[in-house]
Every structure is written in C-alpha cells, then in structure tokens.
Structure 1
Amino acid sequence: MEFLTDNFKHLTTTPENVEQLKKLVLQMAVQGRLTANWREENPDMEPASVLLEKIKAEKEKLIKDGQIKRQKPLPAISDEEKPFDLPGSWEWERLGNVGMGFEYGTSSKSIRVGDIPVLRMGNLQNGEIIWDNLVYSANENDNQMYLLQENDLLFNRTNSRELVGKTSLFSNYRKAIYAGYLIRFHMMNGISSVYTNYVMNSPLHRNWCDEVKTDAIGQSNINATKLKNFRFPVPPLAEQQAIVSKVEQLFSQIDQLHALAQKRINYREKSAKALFSKINNAGNDAELQDTWQTLTSHFHNLTQSKESVKQLRQSILQMAVQGKLTAKWREENPDVEPAGVLLEKIKAEKEQLIKDGKIKREKTLPPISEEEMPYELPNNWVWIRFPFVFTTISSREKQVMTKEYLSQGKYPIVDQGQKLIGGYFNDSSKLIRVKTPLIIFGDHTKEVKYVNFDFIPGADGTKILKFFFRINVEFTYYSLKSLDLGNRGYSRHFKILKNKLIPICPVEEQEVIVTKVKQLMSWCDELEKKIEKRDAYQGKMMQAVVKQAFKMEKETVEVL
C-alpha cells in the first residue's frame, strides 16, 4: 500500500495514468488490501458469513410477506471460480443473493423535451450519472414503473465490448427513469451501495464482463441472469464503510496531485508557446538571438510533451523561411548573388526546356502584389508563386494500389501516408529513377516528403514534384513544411498548394539554412528522445506499481 501511495506524485501526470491508478485502488479495495491495517485494529468485527445469514433471513421474510417472489437458487461459488483469496472475515457470494430487482428499463419511445428524463447508457460514466444529452418520458405508466430510487444501481447490459457492463450509482438528485439497455438493481440491508458501485467499476468486474459477455456484430450483451451470478466479494458492513472512506480519500489525493501536475504542465506549455511566438515575431536579430538563447537554455524545463517539440520544429521552420536563422550570415556575406538573378536563370532554364520539348509552356503566373506577401523578406530575397520552380512527374502508369503493398521487397513505395516508406513492391517496371531529389506531396493528406532515392509511387493522391536545378530541394521542402494549407479533410489540397507564395533566397544562403535547420531538428530529435525516455520510465513505474499491487496467491488480475 505504501509503495502505491509513495509513487502517486510520479504517476498522476496524465489522464491515462490517473485512470490506471484508480483501477489499482479499486482492485486493492475488493481484495481487502486497503483495509489490512483496519482489520488488525478491529479484530472482533462480525464476519461477513453472519451478515449473509441475516440477508438470507431478510429475503425469506420478504417472500413470506409477498413483497418479492422466490427466485431460482443460484449455484454456490466453487473454489475454482474464485479469482483470488479474500481476508478471513470476508465471503464470496453471488450478486443475486445480496441484491434485488434486476429489472430491465422502458422500451417506450422517448421525447426531446419533458419533465422526467430517461437515463440511457451514455449517461453512465465512471460510476456516476452524467446528466447530459437527456431524453424524456411522456408515458405516465413508465414514469411510475421505472422510477429510480435512492441508491439504485444501473448496469449497462448492451454496449460495445469495452463498455458493456459499466455500472453507475443513482443518487436521488432528481426524478428519472431508465431505458431498456439498462438493468436496475439495489442491494440488501448490510451491503453498501457505494461499496457495490466501487466493486462494479473495478478490474475484478471488468474482467468478469469480458468472460461472460455474448458478442454480436458491433455490440456485446450481458443479461440479468448472468449479472445475478457475478462473484461478489462481501466484507463486514463496517469494513465496507471503511473501504468507501479509504477509496474516497485516495481518489481525492490522486485528483489533487493530477490537478497540480496539470497546472505545472500548463504553465510550462504556456511559457514555451510565449517564447515560440516571440521568436516568430522578433523585431530584430538581437531580440531573436536573446529569445532563442532563453528557449534553448530552458526548454527541458518548459515542456512536458512532444506537442511542444512539434511547435518548436514549426518555429524553426518559420525562422528559416523568414531569413531569421541567417541574419548574421548575410552580414558576413553581403556580396552574394541576389535571388532576383536566380529567378532570371530559372526563367531561362524553363524556356530552354520548353524549346527542347521537355516541358510544356504553362499559363503565365500573375504578378505578386504587396497585399499578398505574408511578411517582409530580407533585401536579397524574393517571393514567387510556387508553380514557378517545379514541374510535376506523371506517375499514373507506375502507381501501385495499397492492397498490392508488400511488407518487405526490393523497391520502396512512397505514397501520401505519414511514413516515408509505405510498403514495398518487386516490379522494377514501376520504379521511378531519382537523379535529383524530388518532393512528394499528399493531395489528400498534405504530407510533404523529401525523396532522394529510387522508389515506386503509391496510388491516388501522390503528387511528384521535380524542381529546376538551381533550386535547393531541401530548402523548398522546409518552405513547404512551414505552410498552413488549412484542413479540407480527405479532400484535394494540391490546388491550394499551387496558389501559395514561397520565399526564395540566394543559392548559397539556401544551403546555409538547410544546414542550420538540420542541426536544430537534430536537437529536437534529442528532446523527443528525452521525453520518450521519461514516458518509458513512468510506464515502467506504473508496471512496478501494478506488479506490487497485484501480488496474490492465485492469479494476477490484468488491468493494463
């Protein structure tokens, strides 16, 4: 127990860890491990076996008085069925023997506006009733027959495989009835409804649901008969109350530590974003260098996520294409040939290729107005319309459909997916020989890839861009990565790309920028590795906590 609580502060940084910790707490609760010290301090408590006899007598009286009907006896729980050993004062019992009701809800059509809400499976979350997305009942008979009472429990009998069996406790916050995909039951005197709700949200119950559910297409089912047969751990009533108190205390501690961790993370992320913004909007080189030094010196303290590194990468690209990475270089190299001369050379090259019949003459691009320019460039840079520097390579006859991809093979396939190489293919007739680097653009996905090796193109949406020889393709690759193309979903983005402006700088400066960006991106790679190492450590710590928490004589209940 101490091992778990001592490591709370290390394991509450993410919602996923919080969820796992709460599962651990509940599993330890139903094993009696949260209250081991309590039992030592209270050795003379009436055992659960006496409580079960009282419940049995109470049920017999209710049957005799005609308040309930006699149900078919439930089978005794064999030793082989018991998932783990319980403390000596506890007992295993079928849920149907310590609970009552087990009734399905209304199947009547609901309405959007009304007075009596109908709780549905979406209203059951993490053991609580969520009063969102409500529908209502207009059936007066239903409003009486299915009216929920204080401490009723609602069990979701039909849902996805992962969610079937989720259970929530109803508190009499407002009048409500329940829908047909739910089963309502309540516990006999001597069994705490809050304790029961914790049991029904523990890994013990989740694993049982996985055992007994009936799967169909798109959904799973656990009926009332199966629910009554759930193996329920019964402690003495006073210990049930002690368990509830302990769980509430630990849950509160977990939530407080998580909130504190999130506050720290949010502060760091905001500080990092502020620096990114300051870098992108630096008024002069001195301000840029000062901000950059602050960021690089403290970035490990400012970020807790790969998302921040992603933002840093984008800031680096923005600085690159705005000339902010090479301000000092330009001071030291004032006599380089300006980009305007480079454009004239590219224009002459295109004219020669048209004359030689290697490319077709394209429609003349309109001049660029000052209003179109997104920011001011250094003096020897120029804006161009992107189509000015490339031509597309037709790949229709060489494309390979996704279903034809091999996991291994002779030739790599480059498509519009996230990975540089999407698969392999063995037909050399499909191969595109790469003499100078190309850029692959995903028409649907907006993925931009720098390719300097022979490859086979993927199917629809893979655009292959070949650049004129005076353009540094890596510099252009970084320029395209810095662009915001919006989000049209799985639609066409190449048309948007062709309407974009990109900056062009002198050839020598393009090479310097590429070198600097590579160095900085390598540094970002190291940051990501540190974050991955930290996350891996937390994962190992969680596994250690799980292992320590679930040491038992029979078997380990899987919660990860």
Structure 2
Amino acid sequence: MDTKALRQKILDLAIRGKLVPQDPNDEPASVLLERIREQKQQMVKEGKLKKKDIKNDSVIFVGEDNLHYEKFANGSVKCIEAEIPFELPKGWAWTRISTVALFVGGYAYKSSKYVPDSRNILIRIGNIKNNSINPFVAKTCISDEYASETDSYLIRENDILFTMTGTRGKRDYFYSCRIEKSDLESLKLFLNQRVGCLRLVSTADILPSYFVNAIQSSCVLDAIFATETGNVNQGNIGSTATLNLLIPVAPTEEQYKIQEKSLSILSAIEQYDIETEDLLAIINMLRTKILDLAIRGQLVPQNPDDEPASVLLERIRAEKNELIKQGKLKPNKKESIISKGEDNSYYEKLGEDVCCIDEEIPYDIPDSWEWVRLKNCCIKEIRRGKSPKYAAKSNTLVFAQKCNTKYNGIDIGLALYLDESTLGRYPNEEYMHDSDVVVNSTGTGTLGRIGFYRTTDNFPGLPIVPDSHVTVIRGFRSIRAFYLYIFMKANQSVLEKKGEGSTNQKELKPITLKEMLVPMPPVSEQQRIENAIITAFSYVEMIEKSLN
C-alpha cells in the first residue's frame, strides 16, 4: 500500500468537500471571511496591524456568468477563473492566504551569540517535518537577553510554521506544522531564517489543523512549487508567493467535521505505517539471521560424504603455488595456515611462527569446516581500485561506490566513463570480473556496504574498472563466489563500524579485510547454502513487496 499517496488523497478529498457531507444550515464560508476582514480593519484601528497588512485583502466571488472574480481593496475587479483548480461545494469559498493569515519571517540569528544550553531554542529548517516539530534536532540555543531582543520572532500556540528552502526540483521542503500548546511547555521557540510563520487572524473561524491540511494538499503544493526560485541546487519559496496562494475555505462547522474524519483516517494510516515499519524491521532482522546461520553451518545440514574444507584449502594452496611459479602472484613467506590442535585450540602458522588464536575465533563451526584468512581465499590481492581520470564518453566504465546502492543492488547506470588515455594503468586483473564481491570503502553512510557484481548487471556491456573508493574481493575458482558474498554480507554491520580516520574521512583499510577470519565449508555445502539462501530470500522479498 502506498500510504503516502493515500494520505495525500485524503487531504485532497477533504479540501474538495468530498470527505464529509455538507449541511445547508451551516454558516457559509463567505460570512466567516467577511468577519475576518472586518476583524483586520478593527486591528488596524487599534494599532495592532498596519494599513499595509490589509492592502492586499480581496474578496473572491462567482459572477452571474459562473466565472470566478476577485475584488481588490481599491475597488478593481479581475476575472481569475484560470487560477481556480476545481469547483467547490455550495457554502464554501476561495480566498488568498493573505486575507486570513499574517506572515512572520524568520530572523538571521548570529551564531556568535549561541549559548550551550537554555530554554530559548531556535527553530530551523531541519526541525520541521509535516505535522511535527522537533526542537532538539541539532539543538541551537540563545541567551535570555538575546531572546528578549528578538521577542518579535517568538513562536506562539497555533502558529503554522513552514520551511522555505530545500533542494530545487525535489519538493523536499515547504513542510508545515501547527504549534500546539505542548510544544511550548517549558520552552521558548524562535523563528530562524528561512522558516516562515503563518499566523491566522481568527482561529475561531478557520481551524489551524484545517488550514495545515489545506496547504499540504496537492493543489496547493503544485501552486506553490510553480513559484519556486533559486539556483541549480537550492530552491526557495517566497513570502509573497505563499500569501498569494488560493485555499478553499469550508464553513467552520464543516471544518470540525472534516478534521474529525480526516484525523480518524490519517491515524489509521499512521498506525499501518508503524506496523509496516515494524514488519520491515523484522524482515531485515530475518535476512541478517539467515546469513548468520549460513556462515555458522546451521542453515543446511552437513553431509558426511562431502569432501572436507581442509582438502579444498590444500587445493587452493597448490593453485596459489602454481600461480606464484607463473609469476602471476607474489610469494608470501608467512603464508597463514590455521588448524585445530589436539587441545581443541586453534593455531595459526605464519612461516616458522605458530601462535594460538582462540581469542580471535568468534564461534564454533562444524567439524568439516575450516577457518581461513580472507586474503588466502582470494586470487587477486585485496585492494582498492585506482583513482580514475574521467571522460565525457568512452568505451570503458568506472564502478564508483554509488553503483553499489543501499536498496537496489548494483546499478551500472550510475557508472561514469574512464578516460581511455589511462588504460595502460589497468592490467586485466584490475577490470571487474563476474561474481566479484565489492566493498564500499570510504564515506559515512556507505562505508562497509557489500555488493555482488554480475556481468548481467552491466547492461552497456562495456569493460569496467573499480574506482579508488571500492575494494574488490575475488576468490579462487575453487570457492563458490556467492558464498564469499554471503560471508561478507553477514559481516556488513561489523564492517560499517570498522572505518578509520576522521569523522568525514573514514576509510575501510584493505588490511582490515585481509585479516578477516572466514568459516569455510566444503564446496558441496557452499552450493547447498547458496541454494537455501536464494530460496529463503525470494520468500522474504515476496513478503516485503506485499507490504509496499
């Protein structure tokens, strides 16, 4: 279920008068709008408003020709039929936001005047989402003195806040929320720059919750984002454009009914979202558990007739020695060989040196399995790719870590092109091969992510090399490549925490990967594990899709 689209549909039905039936006995919206205009006139007389605050007030009405007209304060009348997005029920009316609300812009508070903690908190763009405010996200405080100097930016109960800046073209802003009394308990909140505030003239005539739903509806969002300004990356919504927005106003009694009905439906949708999130979290835990069972030898039964993993490792060592003779691999005088002693402890032989490694062994494995360092499983040295020189177009691709996506597997559509004048830097082994395991090796939020590259992912069919932020794991042919992927994927959450360096420059060093201990099953069992995981994950994916 697309709950986001369903939520939007409820809002759209609400502001079109299709969520609850109309009552012909309700006071028409035109009357309450006239009352608001009169109230603003009185506020001018009392000095609470200035004449400029009412100069753009207008009356929107339907003429005898069934077209919509707008009458301005100077007496002029203009046909605005082209601006009206849909017809309203009888008793409803269109109005500009400027007629029913006042705009308060945020203040550019000076960071030099921030204090470590106080009850005076600035509300910035990141503190606001639709229908929620969290002052404690990147909490920013000011002193009592600074708060007193800027008290005109103090946020009040029933203020409607909205964000005015975001990414151009992405609609990741103009989030809005109503300030409730509970939001202000023991706190004073202040408007920071690029946070706008709409303050309703009469919350008795237009309910703040109804107003918020109206400006979150698709027709209002379409209208406001049509006015978006800014540069290539940053989008902005201005106060003038916001105040000029048209919103449909229902009779006050109907607003109450709409809010009661929409709250009931939206609460049910929210509960569904929560339950779905819980189920998705369980599904992710299930995937993790399946992988964990697999690398512990607990996913499929062992077969006593399988060739033991010790024989597989001997075969790999023989293959490695042959490659060394051919000059394709460098000799290693301290080759790691791990074995279990008569005392049931694990020992590692490095050249002539032998030491007990029981403290490194994370769990027990079946008798037919063996422990081996990851570096001894790989036909290619574990290292990152080279720093590439890019070209606008060529016949060679560069696999960047963004190609190893968080949710959609390998996406070669995100690869860039290599400047082919640098091809001499790339011997054959540096090109990506079918069934390579890829590890994102730098960057917060992506470091440690594991992927499995197949040539079928490479829809352009071009040669491809990894960039310097990606480490490639390529096992010996005797080892099932998918099993190495299973092992690495099972350890992804561990690798994500293994980054070294400063907060913004963390990297996963090749040595960390090389020294990983791999529980190696017999080849036949590797195949059974692979089949079991593919089957299990297909069922898990089916369940996951049914929730979306």
Whether contact under 8 Å (2:372, 2:518) holds in the other structure is yes
Classify 1:376/1:253 alpha carbon distance in 2 versus 1 (closer, same or farther; 3 Å): closer
Q: Does 1:73 align with 2:56?
A: yes
Q: Does 1:46 align with 2:31?
A: no
Which letter maps to 1:186? L
Q: Which residue of 2 aligns with 1:369?
A: 356
Q: Which residue of 2 aligns with 1:520?
A: 532
Report the Cα distance in structure 2 between the residues aligned to 1:239 and 1:116, rounded to whole angstroms.
Answer: 38
> Which residue among 441, 445, 466 is the counterpart of 1:458?
466
Q: Which residue of 2 aligns with 1:201?
A: 216
* Larger RCO: 1 or 2 (CA < 8 Å, sep 6+): 1
Whether contact under 8 Å (2:200, 2:208) holds in the other structure is yes
SS at match of 2:210: helix
The TM-score normalised by the length of structure 1 is 0.68
What is the Cα deviation at residue 314 of structure 1?
Answer: 0.8
Report the Cα distance in structure 1 between the residues aligned to 2:146 and 2:215, rounded to whole angstroms.
Answer: 31
Report the Cα distance in structure 1 between the residues aligned to 2:175 and 2:455, rounded to whole angstroms.
Answer: 53
How many aligned positions are there?
463
Classify 1:311/1:55 alpha carbon distance in 2 versus 1 (closer, same or farther; 3 Å): same
Whether contact under 8 Å (1:354, 1:361) holds in the other structure is yes
What is the Cα deviation at residue 498 of structure 1?
Answer: 2.0
Report the Cα distance in structure 2 between the residues aligned to 1:178 and 1:450, rounded to whole angstroms.
Answer: 49
Q: Does 1:111 align with 2:125?
A: no
Report the Cα distance in structure 2 between the residues aligned to 1:466 and 1:222, rounded to whole angstroms.
Answer: 51
> Which residue among 154, 165, 180 is the counterpart of 1:171?
180
Which letter maps to 1:124? I
Whether contact under 8 Å (1:432, 1:456) holds in the other structure is no
Q: Deviations over 1:283-316 (max 9, x none)?
A: xxxxxxxxxxxxxxxxxxxxxx4x2563254145
Report the Cα distance in structure 1 between the residues aligned to 2:307 and 2:251, rounded to whole angstroms.
Answer: 88
Report the Cα distance in structure 1 between the residues aligned to 2:372 and 2:87, rounded to whole angstroms.
Answer: 75
> Which residue among 371, 389, 396 is the counterpart of 1:383?
371
Correspondence 1:343-358 to 2 at 5 A:
347=317, 350=320, 354=324
What is the Cα deviation at residue 34 of structure 1?
Answer: 1.4
SS at match of 1:392: coil
Report the Cα distance in structure 2 between the residues aligned to 1:491 and 1:369, rounded to whole angstroms.
Answer: 30
Q: Which residue of 2 aligns with 1:301?
A: none
Correspondence 1:251-266 to 2 at 5 A:
251-259=266-274, 265=279
Correspondence 1:4-83 to 2 at 5 A:
11=1, 17-35=2-20, 37=21, 39=22, 42-71=23-52, 72-73=55-56, 76=70, 78-83=80-85
Whether contact under 8 Å (1:440, 1:448) holds in the other structure is yes
Report the Cα distance in structure 1 between the residues aligned to 2:484 and 2:156, rounded to whole angstroms.
Answer: 67
SS at match of 1:33: coil
What is the Cα deviation at residue 98 of structure 1?
Answer: 2.1
Report the Cα distance in structure 1 between the residues aligned to 2:400 and 2:515, rounded to whole angstroms.
Answer: 22
Report the Cα distance in structure 2 between the residues aligned to 1:448 and 1:380, rounded to whole angstroms.
Answer: 28
What is the Cα deviation at residue 74 of structure 1?
Answer: 5.1
Report the Cα distance in structure 2 between the residues aligned to 1:402 and 1:313, rounded to whole angstroms.
Answer: 41
SS at match of 1:206: helix
What is the Cα deviation at residue 406 of structure 1?
Answer: 6.8
Whether contact under 8 Å (2:40, 2:201) holds in the other structure is no
Report the Cα distance in structure 2 between the residues aligned to 1:324 and 1:130, rounded to whole angstroms.
Answer: 44
Report the Cα distance in structure 2 between the residues aligned to 1:80 and 1:142, rounded to whole angstroms.
Answer: 45
Classify 1:529/1:404 alpha carbon distance in 2 versus 1 (closer, same or farther; 3 Å): farther
**Percent of aligned positions that are identical:** 24
Correspondence 1:538-553 to 2 at 5 A:
538=548
Report the Cα distance in structure 1 between the residues aligned to 2:479 and 2:140, rounded to whole angstroms.
Answer: 60
Report the Cα distance in structure 2 between the residues aligned to 1:118 and 1:63, rounded to whole angstroms.
Answer: 30
Classify 1:22/1:499 alpha carbon distance in 2 versus 1 (closer, same or farther; 3 Å): same
Classify 1:84/1:360 alpha carbon distance in 2 versus 1 (closer, same or farther; 3 Å): same
SS at match of 1:52: helix
SS at match of 1:138: helix
Classify 1:406/1:526 alpha carbon distance in 2 versus 1 (closer, same or farther; 3 Å): farther
Report the Cα distance in structure 2 between the residues aligned to 1:74 and 1:148, rounded to whole angstroms.
Answer: 24
Q: Which residue of 1 aligns with 2:380?
A: 392
Whether contact under 8 Å (1:153, 1:197) holds in the other structure is yes
Report the Cα distance in structure 2 between the residues aligned to 1:524 and 1:244, rounded to whole angstroms.
Answer: 45
Classify 1:118/1:142 alpha carbon distance in 2 versus 1 (closer, same or farther; 3 Å): farther
SS at match of 1:60: helix
Q: Which residue of 2 aligns with 1:135?
A: 141
Correspondence 1:280-299 to 2 at 5 A:
none
Report the Cα distance in structure 1 between the residues aligned to 2:123 and 2:241, rounded to whole angstroms.
Answer: 22
Correspondence 1:223-372 to 2 at 5 A:
223-259=238-274, 265=279, 269=282, 305=283, 307-308=284-285, 310-311=287-288, 313-315=290-292, 317-319=294-296, 322=297, 325-327=300-302, 329-330=303-304, 333=305, 340=310, 347=317, 350=320, 354=324, 359-365=329-335, 366=350, 367=354, 369-371=356-358, 372=360
Report the Cα distance in structure 2 between the residues aligned to 1:466 and 1:63, rounded to whole angstroms.
Answer: 77
Report the Cα distance in structure 2 between the residues aligned to 1:356 and 1:170, rounded to whole angstroms.
Answer: 74
Which letter maps to 2:513? L
> Which residue among 114, 117, 124 is the counterpart of 1:120?
124
Whether contact under 8 Å (1:90, 1:233) holds in the other structure is yes
SS at match of 1:96: helix
The TM-score normalised by the length of structure 2 is 0.69
What is the Cα deviation at residue 523 of structure 1?
Answer: 0.9
Q: Which residue of 2 aligns with 1:102?
A: 103
Whether contact under 8 Å (1:438, 1:464) holds in the other structure is no
Report the Cα distance in structure 2 between the residues aligned to 1:208 and 1:54, rounded to whole angstroms.
Answer: 27
Unpaired stretches in structure 2, ≥5 consecutive residues: 59-69, 71-78, 336-349, 442-447, 457-461, 500-505
Q: Does 1:432 align with 2:428?
A: yes
Which is richer in helix? Answer: 1
Unpaired stretches in structure 1, ≥5 consecutive residues: 1-10, 12-16, 270-304, 539-560
What is the Cα deviation at residue 27 of structure 1?
Answer: 1.8
What is the Cα deviation at residue 440 of structure 1?
Answer: 5.1
SS at match of 1:240: helix
Deviates more, 1:462-471 or 1:116-125: 462-471
What is the Cα deviation at residue 46 of structure 1?
Answer: 2.5
